[in-house]
Amino acid sequence: MALKGFRVHQNNLVYKGFRLNARVSREFPGGSADDGTAPQFTATVLVTRANMIQSFGEDYVVPKFAKGDHVDSPRDAVHVAVSHGCDIVDALTDGVVAAAPK
């Protein structure tokens, strides 16, 4: 599943004051790389406040992958996970207005 025409996210992104980090996993449908099957990729997203460097943050399951879906490249897994992380941050910050600079 190539995500053509979409903005590609880097693996580690700061969005609205939160650091989003995709954790990609590789699996082989046949059980091993030796059987000739192509790998499949899934990911979770770690959401941490950007100014909390020592914090472990919260690891979120990506709904697409929780349903058992996968993608064919690590790049696509990162895109799906970070996009979901942006949705999480939007939900966390919905209605929050930043203080005006003095």
Render 25-91 in DSSP notation, one character per residue.
EEE-TTSSGGG-PPPEEEEEEEEEETT-TT---EEEE-HHHHTT--BSSHHHHHHHHHHHHHHHHHH
pLDDT tens figures, 35-69:
777 889 999 999 999 888 777 788 999 999 999 99
More confident position, 7 or 21: 21
C-alpha span between 83 and 94 (Å, rounded): 16
- The yes-or-no verdict on residue 8 having pLDDT over 70 is no
What is the pLDDT at residue 99? 47
C-alpha span between 64 and 87 (Å, rounded): 13
DSSP 11: S
With contact defined as beta carbons under 8 Å apart, do 22 and 96 qualify? no
pLDDT tens figures, 69-98:
999 999 999 999 999 999 999 998 886 655
CA angle 76, 80, 83 (to 5 degrees): 135
Mean residue pLDDT of the chain comes to: 83
